[in-house]
Structure 1
Amino acid sequence: MHNRRDKIGAGMMTPAEKGGSAVSNAVTAHDVVDGVPRRRIVVASMVGTTIEFYDFYIYATAAVSVFPHLFFPKGDSTTALLASLATFGLAFVARPLGSILFGHFGDRAGRKTTLVASLLLMGIATFAIGLLPTYAQVGIIAPALLALMRFCQGLALGGEWSGAALLATETAAPGRRGWAAMWPQLGAPFGFLLANGLFITLILILGHSNVSPELDGAFLTWGWRVPFLLSAVMVIIGLYVRLRILETPVFTRAVERGEKVKTPLAEVFRSSWRQLIIGTFVMLATYTLFYIVTTWVLSFGTGKKPPEGTGLGFPYVDFLQMQLIAVLFFAAALPLSGYLADRVGRRRLLLFVTAGIMAYGALFAPMLGSSDTSFGTMLVFLIIGMTLMGFTFAPMSAVLPEMFPTNVRYTGSGIAYNASSILGAAVAPFIATWLATSYGVSWVGLYLFIAASLTFVAILVMRETRDASLDSVDRVEPTP
């Protein structure tokens, strides 16, 4: 068994591949990892993240359009929205805890088992949200249960991303880690398209209006529950795919060399604390950008115009359709960015894209500063933001794992990724809403500019990781 793995790892054909059928003869070591076709590994890494992000996005959409009415009905509309967004942010507090919990088992027991567990937790929590009673039915218990399920979603996603990224990078062909790591990142736009596409379909069929919502209408009575309940079907599909893959050869060889550590958390803080700090701030602009141009801009774009409110007054369905169009550009930018990350290097690409995010912050005032913002202007604004998101997001699932040694890679990359979620995502919709309401939309652009500036500095001190070895305990140290 060890000889077979070594041959494949060295780029040689196994005897079965040499002497088997015509199909077997056509399969090379470049196409398989320990006998498992790379395309199956790609699907396993992508399908799980698609499901996880779908679950995450349906909550984000409901946090703006549903939960303020059903779970936080007391007080004015802004207070209810902020309370709902607070539960949205709760998941980002849970995500670093999830990265510690699942990272421990991912670095001790293996990538595959941990990925299955994270998918199960996300699926159970999301399905349960679709069954929750409302505030009118059980009072304060309703938002408490909602917050608990959201916390569980955060725990699950905290373990999911790292595992999917490691599954892709630790089985990648030589010189193509950036391209391989791009595939689980596609789960983000795919999940977004599924979640918002389903919400639009339900709203159109059930006749819901976000401007004048009917609390006893079909959508707020039962329709909003459908996307949450349907997640169970997707989880079953995801489990089927993931149970058919094997452990990554990089992790297997690390175990055989006796490199596992008893407490990955303690080890990563002892030996790789610089990488944790750098990785956290490298992700900051990505998170801030995404949750400003999805969650915050949805509430701002569909909010009432002055003098009744501070929003732009777009119909809810129209705005979701604009977001769906913009997400297509997000998805299209990911493969190009993954390709460029392998060609020009992670650091050079990210410096260029982060500078673009800083410049994008200056567009908030001229493009969103007027209550008469047109459909076309809004769409262009969203497309620019989502395109930048695709270019900055794709390399991250290669960059962060490449910063850490094998025996703490799950824990280290997960903590950096999810600690950044607190700084750049958990508070982003809340801060942006407060800034836009209190000082104007230009301050939201300034907020994004500051976050991107911090990321730019982190990338400057980060050493290029394109050629770093994953099959060792050598660490990529930051430049002096």
Structure 2
Amino acid sequence: MDTPAGHSPLAPGEIAVGVVIGRASEYFDFFVFGIACVLVFPSVFFPFVDQLQGMLYAFGIFPLAFIARPFGTALFMTIQRHWGRSTKLTAALFLLGTATAGIAFLPSYASLGGWSIALLAFFRVLQGLALGGSWDGLPSLLSLNAPPRRRNWFAMLGQLGAPIGFLLANALFLYLTLSVDSEDFLSWAWRYPFFVAFAINVVALFARLRLVLTHEYTLALEESDLEPISTREMIRKQGRNILLGGFAALASYALFHIVTIYPLSWIVAQGSQGIDQVLTVQMFGAVAGILGTIASGLVADRIGKRTTLGLMAVVIGVLSLFAPLLMGGSALQQDLCIVAGFLLLGLSYGQASGTVTANFERRFRYTGAALTSDFAWLIGAAFAPLVALGLSIEFGLWAVSGYLLSGVACTLLALRINRRIGNNH
């Protein structure tokens, strides 16, 4: 993209910093909630059932954020059209931080009864609305500003926030479980990660506003026709592409929470390893995920994004056949499965963003990318922890393999349809 005379170009590296910081902060919030669904919420909010049933109840609240997310996108796109990008981003991240910190102040079920569960669900919905509104267009702008032969490398940077956010959330919970006894952890220490999430959001907000409010950023968005479009118009004119984008990376999104959240719940339910051991192994897994995400950019620049996504979907299918044997085996086998799963997640999820963005007319790409991401999360990842844990307890680990294989089939079919659409154009 050419920059008008008299204006400084917006360097891809500068955009990349904003993308990584922004995404890592959002993922940190969500991973703190996901880990708490296993380690905290069953005892604090669902003490009237056993631990396993408590995890299933907590995982029932977990998807509410993903259900609310498309509505958040629609709401905050309206705010942006009327009051601008900075107002939208500030309001969305303030809401996200406030909802997350609000969870930290929640009384337990023993103190407030069923209202504590209702408030937990309410704050979870607010998290989803806020995350939908936090879309700043930076990934789209980064892709358009990146050198043509390195666009997949730069596209990877937005996805890098996921393993980084998980590493930070996991490390904080590990530190707390090692520092205090279980009684103190469930009484007050579990609240600290949610306070930290608020602080991280404040830092991320200023880092992103510093870029979003620049004149160069505004010019770059205007030149690229990256503008907020009403959701109604998007669905009417680009509904097929949004749906196709939601399914194109389904294998990656299905794998996402099955690798990050589900193993902890399964191992805790089975009692096959200590919590500290699992959290430690998951930190090594997060590092493997970071390396895999970086590698995905190199691979995709050589063979193409869609080919990479299709190839990784096949590998996910292969892993799903071995995963039951590993997760049902010894502690070492479980650890191997977790680390291998994270590595594959990085390779796959690293290119899961913007798979069908080229299908959108230029003016629809800003809102289209946001809604496509919303529906990909909703279809592929929102219910994964609940479904995976429920299936594995009721039918065995092989049922989880079937769940993953269905995601693989959807991805391969969507990529095939997308290729035909591309050929027709």
TM (norm. structure 2) is: 0.91
Instruction: State the alpha-carbon separation in 2 of the partners of residues 413 and 321 from structure 1.
Output: 35
- Partner residue, 2:284: 325
Q: CA deviation at 1:72?
A: 1.6
Give yes or no for contact 1:401–1:410 (8 Å, CA) kept in 2: no
Shift of 1:185: 1.1
Letter in 1 for 2:256: F
Cα distance change on mapping 1:312 and 1:451 into 2, 3 Å: farther
Instruction: Write 1 or 2 for the structure with the bigger share of helix.
Output: 2
For 2:256, the equivalent position in structure 1 comes to 290
Assess if the C-alpha contact under 8 Å between 1:134 and 1:142 holds in 2.
yes
Deviation at 1:109, TM superposition (A): 6.6
User: Within 2, Cα distance between the matches of 1:243 and 1:173?
Assistant: 24
Mapped pair 1:48 → 2:22: yes
Report if aligned partners of 2:171, 2:283 keep a CA contact under 8 Å in 1. Answer: yes
Q: Which residue of 1 aligns with 2:358?
A: 402
1:352 counterpart letter in structure 2:
L
Matched residue type, 1:253: E
CA RMSD of aligned residues (A): 2.5
Paired residues of 2:59 and 2:386 also in contact (CA < 8 A): yes
CA shift, 1:48, in A, is 1.1
CA distance in structure 2 between the aligned counterparts of 1:160 and 1:168, rounded to whole angstroms = 16
Q: Which amino acid aligns with 1:132?
A: L
Instruction: Please identify, of 70-79 and 146-155, the stretch whose mean Cα deviation from structure 2 is larger.
Output: 70-79
- 1:139 is aligned to 2:113: yes
Alpha-carbon separation, structure 2, partners of 1:276 and 1:321: 38
Look up the SS of the partner of 2:137 in the other structure.
helix
Aligned equivalents of 2:375 and 2:45: distance in 1?
28
**Contact 1:107–1:407, Cα closer than 8 Å, also in 2:** no
**Per-residue CA distance 1:40-71 (angstroms, 9 max, x = gap):** 32111111111111011000000111011111
Counterparts of 1:187 and 1:394, CA distance in 2: 10
Q: Deviations over 1:291-320 (max 9, x none)?
A: 1122221110121xxxxxxx2521111011
- Determine the C-alpha separation between the residues in 1 that align with 2:153 and 2:56: 39
| Distance apart, 1:164 and its partner CA | 4.0
User: Could you tell me which of 172, 175, 190 is aligned with 2:146?
Assistant: 172
Question: Gaps (5+ residues) in structure 2?
Answer: none
Decide which of 150, 157, 161 is 1:187's aligned counterpart: 161
Return the alpha-carbon distance in structure 1 between the equivalents of residues 98 and 272 of structure 2: 36
Residue 390 (structure 1) shift: 0.9
Letter in 1 for 2:48: K
TM-score with structure 1 setting the length: 0.81
Asked whether 1:390 is paired with 2:346, we answer yes
Quick one: percent identity of the two aligned structures? 34
> Corresponding residue for 2:222?
252
Equivalent of 1:426 in 365, 382, 389: 382
Q: CA deviation at 1:6?
A: 2.3
1:431-446 equivalences in 2 (<5 Å) = 431-446=387-402
Q: Deviations over 1:313-358 (max 9, x none)?
A: 2111101111111111110011221222222211111111110011
Matches within 5 A, 1:64-463: 64-105=38-79, 114-160=88-134, 163-208=137-182, 217-245=183-211, 246=214, 247=217, 249-253=219-223, 263-303=229-269, 311=270, 313-369=272-328, 373-463=329-419
Give CA-to-partner distance per residue, 1:49-100, whole Å, 9 cap, x none: 1111101100000011101111122233332221111111111111222232
SS of 2:147's partner is coil
Q: Count matched residues.
A: 421
Find out whether 1:5 has 2:3 as its counterpart. Answer: yes
Secondary structure in structure 2 of the residue aligned to 1:133: coil
How far is 1:243 from its partner?
Answer: 1.8
Contact 1:91–1:152 (8 Å) recurs in 2: yes
Deviations 1:223-278 (A, max 9, x none): 001111122321221122112113354421256xxx968x5322222222221121
Taking the aligned partners of 1:103 and 1:134, their CA distance within structure 2 comes to: 35
For 1:212, the equivalent position in structure 2 comes to: none
Question: 191-200 vs 426-435, which deviates more?
Answer: 426-435
| Deviation (angstroms), 1:405 | 2.9
Report the residue type matching 1:290 in the other structure: F
Q: Partner amino acid for 1:405?
A: E
Q: 1:90 to 1:292 in 2, by over 3 A?
A: same
Matched residues in 1 for 2:9 and 2:218: separation? 11
Q: Would you say the 8 A contact 2:72–2:128 is kept in 1?
A: yes
Q: Structure 1 residues 184 and 240, CA, compared in 2 at 3 Å: closer, same or farther?
A: same
Unaligned 5+ segments in structure 1 are 8-13, 15-32, 209-216, 304-310, 465-475
Aligned counterparts of 1:54 and 1:99: Cα–Cα separation in 2: 20
Q: Distance in 2 between matches of 1:229 and 1:329?
A: 27
- Aligned-partner Cα distance in 2 for 1:166–1:118: 19
Contact 1:404 1:412 (8 Å CA) reproduced: yes
Listed one character per residue, the Cα deviations across residues 351-389 of structure 1 (whole Å, up to 9, x for unaligned) are 1111001111101232123xxx22321121112211111
